[in-house]
Amino acid sequence: MNPPDWRPTASLEALRLRAWLLAATRLFFADRGVLEVETPALAAAPAPDPHLLSFATSFRERTLFLQTSPEHAMKRLLAAGSGPIFQLGRAFRDGESGRRHNPEFTLLEWYRPGFDHHALMDEVDELLAAVLGSKKTPAERLTYRDAFRRHAGVDPLAATLDELVEAAREGSRPNEAAEGAESAKVVTLPDLGDDRDAWLDLLMVSAVQDHLGRGRTTYLYDYPASQAALARVRTEPDGTAVAERFEVFVEGVELANGFHELTDPAEQRRRFEADRAARQAQGLPDVPLDERLLAALASGMPACAGVALGLDRLVMLAAGAETIDDVLAFPIDRA
């Protein structure tokens, strides 16, 4: 039996580039008076979002969870009067492994009291210019609604479920040049039932995302209210509710996810309970509510915007790497 490969998957050049990006990121925030903080990787209550699976462990018969993000703890610091803060640290998500995913990864997360999501998009753009070099082409800012209209041919906020399913079928159908081939092609779609957001996610992957960030950074913002997560919701003049949330895409790759943060503890509790119900419906393990975060919100967390950016993907972009393994010393397969 051959011994296991002990060597790193990243080149020394990639590791030096990672070190430089970490230093440049810290300098960027130091110049702006944003405080670097550290919060625990272990917590009693993880994010209940059914899309995020946490690793669990125990300490003195008490179940603890490796954090999928430092968000809850950082918001407690904001409520305690920290002012603007950032963190570069490890995050953990079970089941995430692939070309752009590793179950243990580095996350850059920061919060800006007094900012909304538009002001924070400006700062993300400044950070990317500082660490990746200035872009000749200005960034694109596109609402979720306009992106779907442009690339999927459907209004994601007003379309019926049947219209979304048909758009997903069209988006999944290959481009066949031969006459009659397209009509004869049977497109098999997953059984997503009446889960509107699941159909929107499928459309995002099959018809929209690959067009984003081509030749310039794309900021996709104002998501459906049903996808608000921890973001504020506002009502548009036409009566449509949208979440004040944005995502950042470069060359079709999602790089960051930001919110104009929800500060209402009652609404946050309602969303947490809805997430727990969704977990139960999907047969996922239940998780406790983060009562400390809810208490912090009740004490008066300042109005702010926050964003989480995948540092490993940023290194991939800077290095021109094809896989996340190319920029990690030891990914999960060599842990």
With the CA atoms of 315, 316, 317 and 320 taken in that order, what torsion angle do they form, in degrees rounded to the nearest 10? 120
DSSP label at residue 329: S
Question: Could you tell me which residues come within 8 angstroms of residue 8 by beta carbon, excluding any fewer than 6 positions away?
Answer: 15, 328, 329, 330, 334
- Per-residue pLDDT band for 179 (boundaries 50, 70, 90) equals very low
89 by Cβ neighbours in 10 Å (0-12 / 13-18 / 19+) ranks as middle
- Per-residue pLDDT band for 4 (boundaries 50, 70, 90) equals confident
pLDDT of residue 141: 96
Q: Hey, is 150 helix, strand or coil?
A: helix
Structure-token match 């979720």, residue found: 144
pLDDT of residue 99: 87
Q: Hey, is 183 helix, strand or coil?
A: helix
Contact status, residue 203 vs residue 195, Cβ threshold 8 Å: no
pLDDT of residue 289: 95
Measure the CA–CA gap between 264 and 277, rounded to whole angstroms: 20
**102-139: pLDDT as tens digits:** 999 999 999 999 999 999 999 999 999 999 875 557 89
Residue 191 lies in a domain: no
Contact status, residue 54 vs residue 94, Cβ threshold 8 Å: yes
The 8 Å CB, 24+ separation contacts for 185-191 are 189/165
Residue 285 lies in a domain: yes
- Show the tokens assigned to 327: 């920029």
- Show the tokens assigned to 28: 């960027």
Residue-range definition of the domain harbouring residue 130: 12-137+256-334
- Between the CA of residue 247 and those of 55, 168, 212, 259, what are the distances in Å? 25, 21, 11, 9
Longest dimension (CA), the chain: 68
Residue 158 lies in a domain: no
Residue 304 lies in a domain: yes
User: Considering its fold, how many domains does the chain have in total?
Assistant: 1
Measure the CA–CA gap between 180 and 182, rounded to whole angstroms: 6
**32-44: pLDDT as tens digits:** 999 999 999 999 9
DSSP label at residue 190: -
Residue 247 lies in a domain: no
pLDDT of residue 98: 83
- The predicted model scores a pTM of 0.92
Residue 307 lies in a domain: yes
Min mean pLDDT across 1-5, 31-35, 67-71, 232-236 is at 1-5
Residue 222 lies in a domain: no
pLDDT of residue 135: 58
Average pLDDT over residues 298-317: 97
Q: Hey, is 65 helix, strand or coil?
A: strand
Alpha helices in the chain (DSSP H): 12-31, 71-79, 117-132, 144-151, 161-172, 181-184, 196-203, 265-281, 291-300, 311-319
- Per-residue pLDDT band for 174 (boundaries 50, 70, 90) equals low
pLDDT of residue 175: 52
Residue 67 lies in a domain: yes
Measure the CA–CA gap between 267 and 333, rounded to whole angstroms: 41
Q: Which CATH number covers residue 118?
A: 3.30.930.10
- Show the tokens assigned to 22: 């970490």
**Does the pLDDT of residue 154 top 60, yes or no?**
yes
The Cα angle at residue 277 between residues 273 and 278, in degrees rounded to 5: 115
